[in-house]
């Protein structure tokens, strides 16, 4: 039973991270119908920023949770700025272009950012400090779930809750939903959709950065390539849940996390991806618009 | 006929030599048109005459090939709006509805109207997050104003219904309510009676007159239902093949031979 629970929580941890990144894909898709392939790189940049900031702060003699929080905040700000800029440079000029053009532009941006970090940093794996301390109250459960995993799961849950409130009740949230449903009509009721689109990119990038910091301190090492892998997985999660749908992204992330985790735990870690993608294929055969996707998806 | 209403104020909308080409096709050919303050003007003509294209040019969805669109909201300066961004045109006071209803179907009726209100309020992202006293009051005002607007179009019962679950006539009225929420000085209605039964059309007739009366705004509408057109409009423009072929009061239009020809074809002796 303990083994099962350990795998269960492990899967939930993984799934939470996938969900955090998948939200960025799904929100951008909801508004622009664009797969933002550079999104994984934003997550990687978030992790790198946190590494640099936390190293600097550690040299300045700070430790513990303060470092973690400061590093996270700066990572979020920096990554959001990247997300905002990528949209302005690579997607906004192509808004009237055929749908394939911004897609190619996104792939180009992804390759550019990877290589930019590769050149500015290094191609080697860098050790990432375990920023989240071991809580003493977690000791009795340490064989099932670690403190880091607990922090990841609860942070993600909190963020999902805040995001739901934001989308549902704030005026920017309403403007986002309106833009996703009918962009021209949104403009006709006076919504500045450039602002809405920028906000979507900023929000999505912030979520990805949080994911980047959390998973980096869990796994303990990063390099320039982590964004690509995580991006593909999170994209899979978004499609699995029904791209364009926010609850779908969360559900898709969790399902993908558990599938991988149980495949690793009960079969072999070599088959983790095989199971994950086989599951995706099955879902797409039987529910082409994803788990929660209906004919008309509730976008953003 | 509601001819008693105060007339002869200045134009609020002036369209000068408006031309729109789609590739080789001339959809609108040098059309001149104006709407005065508090006036209800109808734009009629056979399908494909270019009526909706004019609406799309006015509201900024299309950039006209040539010609100019001027607006002069009551008490404000005359301003050229040709080629302006859509949301800026809306902020200057023009709102429209569509032939095929375009409400935000996955939002409630109240949310639809609130979205319209937002362009008249200030709170940005930070205020919305921080929620100071002024912002909270503004949010409250938006909700109560939105309730009022919904009451005016008779949708008090439906405030929390998802828009897509409303009956057809109610969706039409919701679209008008959302347009009203942006506080326009000119309301553009694109076939408001399309698909309505005679009873609903009569209600719409009253609603249009009441909106003019209570909100003191001008209305420009495209409509095929001649009974509605003749009973509410002060003036009528008739279009055919992208050109304006006639204008005048309802009684003048009814007698106009060019108009009858456009609708019924050439008369000839058998």
Mean local confidence (pLDDT), B62-85: 90
Interface test with A, best of B104, B124, B129, B130 (most A CBs within 10 A): B104
Instruction: Provide the pLDDT for residue B130.
Output: 67
- Using a CB-CB cut-off of 8 Å, the residues of chain B touching A199 are 125
Task: Provide the pLDDT confidence category of residue B139 given band limits of 50, 70 and 90.
Answer: confident
Cα–Cα distances (Å) from B188 to A239, B52, B86, B94, in that order, read: 40, 10, 14, 7
Q: What is the CATH number of the domain that holds B188?
A: 3.40.50.300
pLDDT at A297 exceeding the cut of 80: no
> A245 touching B, CB under 8 A?
no
pLDDT at A85 exceeding the cut of 60: yes
Q: Return all residues near A28 (Cβ < 8 A) that are at least 6 apart.
A: A34, A35, A36, A39, A200, A201, A204
Interface test with B, best of A173, A182, A189, A202 (most B CBs within 10 A): A189
pLDDT at A237 exceeding the cut of 90: yes
Do B144 and B57 fall into the same domain? no
> A256 touching B, CB under 8 A?
no
Check CB contact under 8 Å for A170 and B105.
no
Q: How far off is chain A from B269, nearest CA to CA, in Å?
A: 49
Instruction: Return the number of other C-beta atoms located less than 10 Å from residue B122's C-beta.
Output: 9
Mean local confidence (pLDDT), A123-136: 83
pLDDT at B211 exceeding the cut of 50: yes
Instruction: Provide the pLDDT for residue A295.
Output: 52
Do B73 and B153 fall into the same domain? no
pLDDT at A300 exceeding the cut of 60: no
Question: What is residue A70's three-state secondary structure?
Answer: helix
**What is the domain partition of chain A in residue ranges?**
2-286
**Tally of domains within chain B:** 2
List the domain range (segments joined by +) for residue B172. 103-181
Encode pLDDT of B148-186 as tens digits: 999 999 999 999 999 999 999 899 999 999 999 999 999
Do B138 and B248 fall into the same domain? no
> A185 touching B, CB under 8 A?
yes
Q: Does B98 fall in a domain?
A: no
Mode of pairing for the β-strands spanning A221-222 and B11-22: unpaired
Do B174 and B190 fall into the same domain? no
Instruction: Provide the pLDDT for residue B9.
Output: 67
> B143 touching A, CB under 8 A?
no
Closest chain B residue by Cα to residue A191 = B87
Do B77 and B200 fall into the same domain? yes
- Using a CB-CB cut-off of 8 Å, the residues of chain A touching B115 are 174-175, 178, 186, 189, 191
Boundary (domain end) residue, out of B122, B150, B181: B181
Q: Which CATH code is given to the segment(s) A2-286?
A: 1.10.3470
Mean local confidence (pLDDT), B231-247: 92
Encode pLDDT of A239-248 as tens digits: 999 888 889 9
Mean local confidence (pLDDT), A4-24: 92
Do B146 and B209 fall into the same domain? no
Instruction: Provide the pLDDT for residue B126.
Output: 62
> B140 touching A, CB under 8 A?
no
Q: Does B20 fall in a domain?
A: yes
When comparing pLDDT for A283 and A46, which is higher? A46
Distance from the Cα of residue A122 to its chain's centroid:
23
Say what the pTM is.
0.86
């Amino acid at each position: 039973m303990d083994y099962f629970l350990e795998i269960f929580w492990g899967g939930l941890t993984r799934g939470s991270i996938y969900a955090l990144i998948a939200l960025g894909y799904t929100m951008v898709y909801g508004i622009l119908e664009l797969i933002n392939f550079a999104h994984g790189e934003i997550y990687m940049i978030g992790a790198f920023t946190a590494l640099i900031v936390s190293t600097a702060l550690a040299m300045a003699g700070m430790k513990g949770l303060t470092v973690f929080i400061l590093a996270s905040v700066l990572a979020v700000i920096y990554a959001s700025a990247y997300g905002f800029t990528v949209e302005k440079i690579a997607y906004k000029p192509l808004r009237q272009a055929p749908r394939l053009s911004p897609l190619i532009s996104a792939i180009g941006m992804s390759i550019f950012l990877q290589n930019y970090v590769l050149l500015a940093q290094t191609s080697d794996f860098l050790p990432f400090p375990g920023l989240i301390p071991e809580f003493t109250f977690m000791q009795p459960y340490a064989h099932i779930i670690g403190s880091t995993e607990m922090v990841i799961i609860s942070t993600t849950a909190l963020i999902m809750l805040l995001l739901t409130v934001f989308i549902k009740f704030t005026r920017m949230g309403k403007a986002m939903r309106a833009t996703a449903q009918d962009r021209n009509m949104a403009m006709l009721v006076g919504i500045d959709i450039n602002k809405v689109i920028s906000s979507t990119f900023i929000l999505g990038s912030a979520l990805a950065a949080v994911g980047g910091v959390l998973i980096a301190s869990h796994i303990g090492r990063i390099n320039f390539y982590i964004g690509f892998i995580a991006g593909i997985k999170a994209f899979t999660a978004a499609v699995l849940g029904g791209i364009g749908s926010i609850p779908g992204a969360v559900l898709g992330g969790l399902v993908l996390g558990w599938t991988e985790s149980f495949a690793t735990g009960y079969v072999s870690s070599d088959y983790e991806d095989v199971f994950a993608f086989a599951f995706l294929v099955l879902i797409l055969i039987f529910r082409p618009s994803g788990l929660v996707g209906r004919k008309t998806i509730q976008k953003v | 006929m509601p001819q008693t209403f105060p007339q002869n104020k200045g134009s609020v909308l002036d369209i000068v030599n408006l031309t729109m080409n789609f590739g080789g096709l001339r959809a609108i050919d040098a059309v001149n048109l104006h709407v005065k303050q508090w006036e209800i003007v109808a734009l009629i003509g056979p399908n494909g005459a270019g009526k909706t294209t004019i609406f799309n040019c006015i509201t900024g969805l299309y950039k006209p090939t040539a010609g100019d669109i001027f607006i002069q909201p009551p008490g404000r300066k005359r301003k050229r709006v040709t080629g302006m961004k859509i949301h800026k045109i809306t902020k200057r006071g023009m709102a429209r509805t569509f032939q095929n209803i375009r409400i935000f179907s996955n939002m409630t009726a109240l949310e639809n109207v609130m979205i319209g209100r937002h362009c008249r309020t200030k709170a940005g992202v930070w205020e919305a997050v921080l929620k100071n006293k002024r912002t909270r009051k503004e949010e409250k005002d938006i909700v109560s104003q939105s309730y009022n607007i919904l009451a005016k179009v008779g949708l008090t019962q439906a405030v929390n219904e998802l828009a897509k679950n409303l009956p057809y006539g109610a969706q039409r009225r919701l679209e008008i309510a959302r347009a009203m929420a942006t506080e326009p000085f000119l309301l553009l209605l694109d076939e408001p009676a399309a698909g309505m039964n005679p009873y609903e059309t009569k209600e719409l007739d009253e609603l249009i007159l009441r909106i003019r009366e209570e909100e003191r705004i001008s209305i420009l509408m495209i409509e095929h239902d001649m009974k509605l057109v003749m009973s509410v409009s002060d003036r009528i423009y008739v279009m055919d093949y992208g050109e304006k072929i006639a204008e005048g009061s309802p009684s003048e239009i009814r007698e106009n031979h060019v108009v009858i020809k456009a609708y019924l074809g050439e008369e000839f002796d058998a």
